[in-house]
Amino acid sequence: MPELASSEREIILYYNLDRPNASKTLGYAKGEGFALRNINILTNKFTGTHLEELASKLKVSIEGLVNKEHSDFNEGLYNSNFSDEDWIKVLQNNPKFLKEPIAIRGHKAIFVKTPSNLSRL
Q: What is the pLDDT along the chain (121 residues), one digit of tens a residue?
A: 355 667 788 999 999 988 888 889 988 998 888 899 999 999 999 999 999 999 999 999 999 999 988 888 876 666 678 899 999 999 999 999 999 999 999 989 999 999 999 988 8
Over residues 72-105, the pLDDT tens digits come to 887 666 667 889 999 999 999 999 999 999 999 9
Domains of the chain and any CATH numbers: 32-120 (3.40.30.10)
- Residue 100 in contact with residue 85, Cβ under 8 Å? no
The answer to whether the beta carbons of residues 121 and 103 sit under 8 Å apart is: yes
> What is the value of pTM for the model shown?
0.88
18: which residues sit within 8 A by CB, 6+ positions away?
42, 96
